[in-house]
A and B are shown apart, each in its own frame.
Chain A
């Protein structure tokens, strides 16, 4: 292959090389224990989605260009150049990965395939094969960061509209969605869309918090795309804002990656300590309930209620109990799914995959959702499949104490419906209404998933 291209691509690996990556490259036993951990492999049976295979593509380049044995006897390792064939497969296996790290949980050596794929993304970007959609969304976020004055009026007027709704919901004519509030304690960084702003605003107002809302959104398409510099700059937009306003705490919304980026990655990227605390909205709500800042009414939810641990705040973020406590403050009929907590399946929609049309099939073919056996459905837009290993995945996933025979309703347990699901608008609307009523403290049924 073209030698400048080759130098560029191997250069990326060289630049990204660290002890973990090197060990992951050197020690994988290709035992394939990880195969049944990955919802995409279980759902599709497609070899390119087997976690170790995804990593193997990087290993093939590594062996050839970073080890003597691979250089002299490439055939032994099937070592090869990052040519078009390799990059084609790499693109699919890399951008489809939701970064859930369930494979890492089960691997006997704790190999972090998603971490290896972060190198794969850097290679793809260097080869001009990064995901176009994610790249554009990241650039748009950066453009907004650089030209915030240009967008300010539109953003603020959007917040004003929501403010009116918040006033209606809370019955408090002075309720606000404050922007740019100097001296606020909390900077809430929402997602783009009222569904992510209104409920939090109602809760902050009800709790009497001294808060303000960020002009920027928490979602980080730079991170999804795998361009770490962009990811850092996208985060930096609201880090700078938080510093300028002098807040004590940044609260991120449901978006799990946003939480992980902020809590676990940003300091390493920027090489500076953050002068504020980072909380997830669920931690905050739990705190408010426990300290009495907000009150919730138990018993308004009918039927059994469960909670599906999102990978990025659960296994990868360490928030397990607070969401359960919230649900249990709303109902006595809480039941955990099997598996749960750090073993929970990926919902299938993470890592930016919902923004990439080309992976819709892969995303839908996951076959590991709770439905129909349990009558619960953890995420929207997924449909069951008849493949045998898919059924097996379902079995593992679907055990729950009290199976329900009602037709499951499309709904989501934890947050925004996915943008690409066909009925997402209707769903979003329903979701908004439900959240609105929750906040009013009368019909707190936004956790209801099956009725």
Chain B
């Protein structure tokens, strides 16, 4: 198990970081160095001021009111998923350090229980979201439109989420954030080591698999349609140019 953890949760992380950040930088570089269309592709009505355009872009990107109007169900799942993903992402910040604001407000035990239920909700929403998308892609025009890339991403994401949820729901009472932080900070400071607690229990397998999927997901991310996470801003800005 130790080898598995070393591969997925130490070396895998280093490799992923290089591929992910390098890939994203490459993607942004490519976009930035390709000349803009000389024709303005905006549509009307458009805000008159730059600030207006910018705030419309943010609304369109984060709320997508038009998409809501045409397909509310899909919007709901997509919105819930992305918020939950954001929540989960922020939650992972606890791997770096305990941010003092919440624990001060809630107390140590309060913080742990807050993290437990908020993380659990996020984990469940993401799981439901991904299952919904997989389901949606199995019929009708959605099926015809889908390509293997779509399934690959959803499959990897399902792995990430399922194993994350597994760690939370099965081992949540045994292993707490502090333990994971010890491991994660050791990786971050290039002195990788695994706390005994991770190696003793079977949580190591879960963590290793969670990280395996995460590594693969993030390594593929910059080369997939998921670059919409950064491209959406500029393409939505073009809408009001």
A69 touches B225 (CB 8 A): no
Show 25 A/B contacts (Cβ-Cβ < 8 Å), sorted by A: A18-B35, A19-B36, A29-B225, A30-B146, A31-B78, A33-B67, A37-B70, A50-B145, A56-B145, A75-B148, A77-B147, A78-B147, A78-B148, A104-B43, A105-B66, A107-B67, A108-B64, A108-B67, A108-B78, A109-B235, A112-B238, A115-B41, A264-B39, A315-B43, A342-B43
**Most chain A CB inside 10 Å of its own CB: which residue of B44, B69, B146, B148:** B44
A264 touches B66 (CB 8 A): no
**In-complex Cβ contact of A22 among B34, B40, B46, B67 (8 A):** B34
Q: Is B98 an interface residue (CB 8 A)?
A: no
B37 touches A19 (CB 8 A): yes
- Closest B residue to A60 by beta carbon equals B147
Tell me the residues in window 157-198 of chain A with beta carbons closer than 8 Å to chain B beta carbons: none
B46 touches A18 (CB 8 A): no
Contacts of B27 in A (CB 8 A): 26
A361 to chain B, nearest CB (A): 20
**In-complex Cβ contact of A76 among B30, B67, B71, B147 (8 A):** B147
Interface residue tally for chain B (C-beta within 8 Å):
47
Seen from chain B, the residues whose Cβ lies within 8 Å of a Cβ on chain A are 27, 30-32, 34-41, 43-46, 60-61, 64, 66-67, 69-71, 74, 78, 141-142, 144-150, 152, 223, 225, 227-228, 231-232, 234-236, 238-239
A110 touches B150 (CB 8 A): no
A36 touches B238 (CB 8 A): no
**In-complex Cβ contact of B225 among A30, A106, A314 (8 A):** A30
**In-complex Cβ contact of B31 among A22, A28, A106 (8 A):** A22
Complex-state Cα separation, A161 to B146, whole angstroms: 58
Complex-state Cα separation, A268 to B241, whole angstroms: 14
- Closest A residue to B40 by beta carbon equals A264
A342 touches B45 (CB 8 A): yes
Seen from chain A, the residues whose Cβ lies within 8 Å of a Cβ on chain B are 17-24, 26-33, 35-37, 47, 50, 52-53, 56, 67-69, 75-78, 101, 104-112, 115, 264-265, 268-269, 314-318, 320, 341-343
B228 touches A32 (CB 8 A): no
Complex-state Cα separation, A112 to B142, whole angstroms: 20
Contacts of A264 in B (CB 8 A): 39-40
Contacts of A27 in B (CB 8 A): 225, 227-228, 231-232, 235
Complex-state Cα separation, A47 to B139, whole angstroms: 13
- Closest B residue to A70 by beta carbon equals B223
Complex-state Cα separation, A269 to B37, whole angstroms: 11
A30 touches B37 (CB 8 A): no
A169 to chain B, nearest CB (A): 34
Complex-state Cα separation, A33 to B44, whole angstroms: 20
A69 touches B141 (CB 8 A): no
B123 to chain A, nearest CB (A): 22
- Closest A residue to B27 by beta carbon equals A26
**In-complex Cβ contact of B150 among A18, A30, A47 (8 A):** A30
B178 to chain A, nearest CB (A): 37
- A35 and B141 in contact, given A19-B37, A22-B30, A316-B43 (Cβ under 8 angstroms): yes
Complex-state Cα separation, A342 to B56, whole angstroms: 15
B74 touches A77 (CB 8 A): no
Contacts of A22 in B (CB 8 A): 30-31, 34
